[in-house]
Copies of this chain bind each other. A is one copy, B any other.
Amino acid sequence: MVGDCIEMLRSLPPASVHAIFADPPYNLQLRGELRRPDDSLVDAVDDAWDRFDDFAAYDAFTREWLTEARRVLRKDGTLWVIGAYHNVFRLGATVQDLGFWILNDVIWRKANPMPNFRGRRFTNAHETLIWAARGPESKYRFNYAAMKALNDDLQMRSDWFIPLCTGAERLRDVKGVKVHPTQKPEALLHRVIMACTAPGEVVLDPFLGSGTTAAVAKRLGRRFIGIEREPIYAEAAKQRLAAIEPIGESAAQTLPSKREQPRIPFGVLVERGLVPAGSRLYDRARRYEALVGADGTLRCGTATGSIHKVGAAVQDAPSCNGWAFWHVLGRDGRLRVIDEFRTEIAGGV
């Protein structure tokens, strides 16, 4: 969509998108007035009013588009906002004020940042992303297993090391001039979209710019909505998108976590004779021995109940994952954890 971000957002139905990625401008034009860029503040007078005015206008704009974004976001959807120290604190505070629930702040560590030429500050080598659910109680999606897989089977951390967008990926006009001043790298959006969406879900970018969000969403088999006010950027994004081929559906899937897999009650193993009623289960150290009941319950001393309940009871622990705690004793004398039987019949229940 080409047009003003807030107007376009208002035209979208409520609770309709699964994820929002927003890269708002920080020296933006408000209602036709051109705001001064930061370095034009040459006035030596320490004029606090003036500064407050600027911040207030920016905050009002932020509040307005974030309010609409929240309306458009599904209950279980999440919001990503990216910014730098000039604006990210105000963004984050407004995100919280509007009722979003921050899940993480994520640091994009730039592999190749621009050095600080005057030697008066630290090299500004990162930007900050805020990841938030619609509210504190939201059942948001987080593709934990996929993120872990993406990071060589270690939990993904909140600091991401990703190069700037350069080379062939950077959109340039016929003269070789870059089309957009702050084109985001596709690798960044790849991680964002893989983290919190499934194939076919809808990703919205209210400040589309050169179209990185839409490009990555399309390639990963997600649907997308992009809003951009400047026709030049919108046209560049359109052309860019036309050349993108989605990867196959299988490759676009996120590794399902155990929680998403079909649940198999222990009783099914008993019914099918994989763990027969009347047989015995043991913990790893063979300190405890439990009798398998025909109804899928265990008995161990005075404790009776589910594999989890009895596992917790014998250990005097608050809870226990019985699938990982209990074992079957094989004929070779080796213990086999009962969780393995579940995967054997994962085909159907």
Contacts and interface: CB of A to CB of B under 8 A. Distances in A.
Most chain B CB neighbours (cut-off 10 Å) among A41, A102, A105: A105
Nearest to A349: B161
Contact of A252 (B48, B163, B277): B277
A87 to B, nearest CB: 10
Contact of A277 (B48, B131, B220): B220
Contact of A89 (B88, B106, B155): B88
B273 A157 contact: no
Interface string A281-297: 00000000001111111
Contact of A251 (B247, B250, B277): B277
A137 B253 contact: no
Most chain B CB neighbours (cut-off 10 Å) among A35, A116, A130: A116
A332 interface: no
A260 to B, nearest CB: 10
How many copies of this protein are present in the complex?
2
A40 to B, nearest CB: 10
Contacts of A200: none
Given A88-B89, A147-B122, A255-B297, A273 B186 contact: yes
B89 A95 contact: yes
A39 B137 CA distance: 11
Contacts of A272: 162-163, 187
Interface string A96-118: 11010011111101011101100
Contact of A294 (B52, B142, B247, B295): B247
A124 B158 contact: yes
A90 interface: yes
Given A255-B293, A271-B191, A92 B99 contact: no
A150 interface: yes
A144 B125 contact: no
A153 interface: yes
Contacts of A318: 35, 39
Contacts of A299: 250-251
Interface in A55-102: 55, 84-86, 88-93, 95-97, 99, 102
Interface stretch (A7-15, A205-213, A262-270): A262-270
A178 interface: no
Q: Shortest 9 CB-CB distances between A and B: which pairs?
A: A89-B92, A150-B267, A247-B278, A146-B295, A152-B265, A125-B157, A251-B278, A85-B105, A187-B271
